[in-house]
Amino acid sequence: MRVRNKPWAEDYIKQHDGIVVLEPSQNKGKWKQAFSHTNRPVHLEIGSGRGGFIQGMGAKNPEINFIGMEVQKNVVVSAIDRVKEAEVENVRLLHENADQLSDIFEENELDTIYLNFSDPWPKNRHEKRRLTHQSFLSQYQQILKADGKIVMKTDNQHLFEYSLVSFSQFGLRLEEVTLDLHATEDPTNVMTEYEEKFTNKGQPIYRCIISNHK
């Protein structure tokens, strides 16, 4: 995703500390308290992009608290604007990398993790950068509750196949495997920007739902 550089992005993020959690490690173990309603489950999207999915999920599911994590600051500002415009009070954003999730989230703290259209990193030498590599899966397993879920969507068949093998070899349970998500209507699905783009081109969208157990 090519993104125009925005020199003002860092200051813009700091100005919206009501939406963006600026020092997320301080919330470790108490993420529910970062929201107005502290008795709701907490869901995390890794790689939230311009925020279309996380904002849509927040609006559609007011009984859940959502966190969108994005490493590119020039993209985070677009997510901020989406959340502001939609006035969803159950969405928070993080300008962070997913490498050290255990520094941000306590064990058993999350109910669901979303991996939407993650970078496939197709070259073998970049395998460890894939968000479904075992090094990431070990972090997900730690911060997810025992019955927590991982929901993955992608248009990349190679990444999807790799991920299914990776999940299985790690010992996670495959609850659902869908090879063409939009072949039938799913009222629970909220599309990302990439998903809309690829679906309009007639490209199949792959989805799997993984159950954590410890």
Question: What is residue 60's predicted lDDT score, i.e. its pLDDT?
Answer: 97
Strands (E), the chain: 42-46, 65-69, 91-94, 110-116, 144-154, 173-178, 206-211
> Known binding site for S-adenosyl-L-methionine: residues?
45, 70, 97, 119
- What strands, in cross-sheet order, belong to the sheet with 91-94? 91-94, 65-69, 42-46, 110-116, 144-154, 206-211, 173-178
How far is the C-alpha of 180 from the C-alpha of 201, rounded, in Å? 13
The domain locations on the chain are 26-211
Angle at 23 between CA 114 and CA 131, to 5 degrees: 30
Question: What is residue 75's predicted lDDT score, i.e. its pLDDT?
Answer: 94
Residue among 11, 17, 119, 180 flagged as catalytic: 119
Contact 212, 140 (CB under 8 A): yes
Contact 98, 132 (CB under 8 A): no
> Known binding site for substrate: residues?
123, 155, 192-195
Low-confidence ranges of the chain (pLDDT < 50): none
Q: Name 169's bridge partners.
A: none
Active site residue 11: no
Q: In whole angstroms, how far apart are CA 106 and each of 17, 28, 39, 161?
A: 22, 5, 17, 30
Question: What is residue 107's predicted lDDT score, i.e. its pLDDT?
Answer: 97
Question: What is residue 3's predicted lDDT score, i.e. its pLDDT?
Answer: 64
Whole-model pTM above 0.85? yes
Give the phi and the psi of residue 121 in degrees, each rounded to 5: 40, 70
What is the 3 state secondary structure string of 103-143?
A: HCCCCCCEEEEEEECCCCCCCHHHHHHCCCCHHHHHHHHHH
Tokens of 112: 């669901």
| Class of the domain covering 26-211 | alpha beta
Q: In whole angstroms, how far apart are CA 138 and each of 36, 99, 160?
A: 30, 11, 18
Question: What is residue 5's predicted lDDT score, i.e. its pLDDT?
Answer: 84
How far is the C-alpha of 14 from the C-alpha of 43, rounded, in Å? 23
17, with CB counted inside 10 A (0-12, 13-18, 19+), is exposed
| DSSP per position, 73-88 | HHHHHHHHHHHHHHT-
